[in-house]
Structure 1
Amino acid sequence: MKHVLAIGAALVLAAGVANAEEECLEVGSPVGAFYVADVTGPSAGTKLCYRCKFKDRPVVSIFAREVNDQVAGLVKQVDGVVGQNQDQKMAAFVVLLTDEPESAEGQLKTVAEKHGIQNTPLTTFDGVAGPASYKLPKDADVTVMMWVDGQLKVNESLKFGELSDSKVSAVLGDTEKILN
């Protein structure tokens, strides 16, 4: 009987691990279209699909469930990398995942002004889970995805406490994976 219980527990654990692996969009996967409300970008006040707009360009997308000082610092640094790589048509955008997108607009405008974010639109997505096809981990506070030619090259999920200077530097280094 103990062996049966042990085997059953092992199968349940294995199924849980398999489901956890399936939850994340894998590097090499195509990235799909989804719509956001642009708050600070060139299309401020409209809903659009940045995945569609940027097409095959090298793109950094930052999905956040909150935009605090740590996230704003990451965005500011990514914004600088985008500015330095305009010749390669690099792009970026931030997606605040929220159940109340309209109420977050003021905060995003303030963050963009305070941190001088110029090359990276701040947007909202209606729903904390994010776009279903992106399979954002439920326990991640921030997920950074990078793609080029519509194919995912980087998928890094973090909790706020993990967003250290060294982790931000590593994320910035990962932009080499999408630049030619």
Structure 2
Amino acid sequence: MLIYILMAALSAEPCVSGPRVGQRPGPYSFVMSTGSERGKSQCYICETADRPMAVVFARSLSEPLAKLAAKLDKAVADYKKNELRSWLTLLAEDQSKQDEAILGWVKKHRIKAIPVGVFEDVEGPPSYRLHREADVTVLLAVKQKVVVNVAFRVGELTDAKIEEIVTGLSKILPTSK
């Protein structure tokens, strides 16, 4: 019985995943499934430099993730002048095995401005130290510093949490569009 209580208590702890606030998000390359770079390895961290960025790591394609991606997709369009960048990195062993599912998911949810690709290791980029229980990790950064870091286990990414992430964009963007 004590073991179950301890397990429940531990699962209630916030999931900590990825570079901490104030740290620099390290470069990593992943294989693109969408966009003009489809099939190629890409390092968006390298290209983004000091611009504001919303980076999403996910272990599975879900409806809550689609809602988050749609909100970030809209934000990228709304803040084009401010050069907001965002992308979604799925963590999986083999991009080619995920490609069809990703393309269907992107089409179904009308994701247009956010590139989606696969980092071909379920652990994620080694320097990121993504938590194994984190189904979704979101990093908001600007000037090569993480400003917001949130992570969610399966089932924890709710509409309210998505709104908190979208509101958090104000920490990396100018006040006007």
**Same fold by TM-score greater than 0.5:** yes
Partner of residue 125, structure 2:
131
Query: 1:96 is matched with which residue: 90, 99, 112?
Result: 90
Partner of residue 49, structure 2:
55
Q: Which runs of 5+ in 2 are unaligned?
A: 1-14
Greater Cα radius of gyration, structure 1 or 2: 1
Tell me if the contact between 1:60 and 1:147 (Cα under 8 Å) persists in the aligned partners. yes
| Alpha-carbon distance in 1 for matches of 2:72, 2:86 | 8
Partner of residue 71, structure 1:
65
Instruction: Give the drift of 1:24.
Output: 4.5
| Alpha-carbon distance in 2 for matches of 1:43, 1:130 | 20
Q: Secondary structure at the match of 2:57?
A: strand
Please tell me the residue identity of whatever aligns with 1:61: V
Partner of residue 122, structure 1:
116
Tell me if the contact between 1:24 and 1:135 (Cα under 8 Å) persists in the aligned partners. yes
| Alpha-carbon distance in 2 for matches of 1:60, 1:22 | 17
TM-score, normalised to structure 2's length? Answer: 0.86
Partner of residue 7, structure 2:
none
| Alpha-carbon distance in 2 for matches of 1:153, 1:49 | 20
Partner of residue 18, structure 1:
none
Q: Secondary structure at the match of 1:160?
A: coil
Change (3 A) 1:44 1:159: same
Please tell me the residue identity of whatever aligns with 2:140: M
Change (3 A) 1:87 1:66: same
Please tell me the residue identity of whatever aligns with 1:130: G
Two-structure CA RMSD over aligned residues (Å): 1.7
Please tell me the residue identity of whatever aligns with 2:114: T
Query: 1:40 is matched with which residue: 34, 37, 44?
Result: 34
Name whichever of 109-118 and 58-67 sits farther off. 109-118
TM-score, normalised to structure 1's length? Answer: 0.85
- 4+ runs deviating over 6 angstroms: none
| Alpha-carbon distance in 1 for matches of 2:27, 2:70 | 25
Tell me if the contact between 1:42 and 1:121 (Cα under 8 Å) persists in the aligned partners. no
| Alpha-carbon distance in 1 for matches of 2:116, 2:80 | 18
Q: Which runs of 5+ in 1 are unaligned?
A: 1-20
Query: 1:170 is matched with which residue: 154, 164, 169?
Result: 164
Partner of residue 8, structure 2:
none
Please tell me the residue identity of whatever aligns with 2:102: L
Instruction: Give the drift of 1:23.
Output: 6.5
Change (3 A) 1:139 1:83: same
**Number of aligned positions between the proteins:** 161
Instruction: Give the drift of 1:160.
Output: 2.6
Instruction: Give the drift of 1:70.
Output: 1.5
Greater relative contact order structure (CA < 8 Å, 6+ sep) = 2
Tell me if the contact between 2:16 and 2:150 (Cα under 8 Å) persists in the aligned partners. no
Identify the structure with the greater helix proportion: 1
Q: Does 1:159 align with 2:121?
A: no
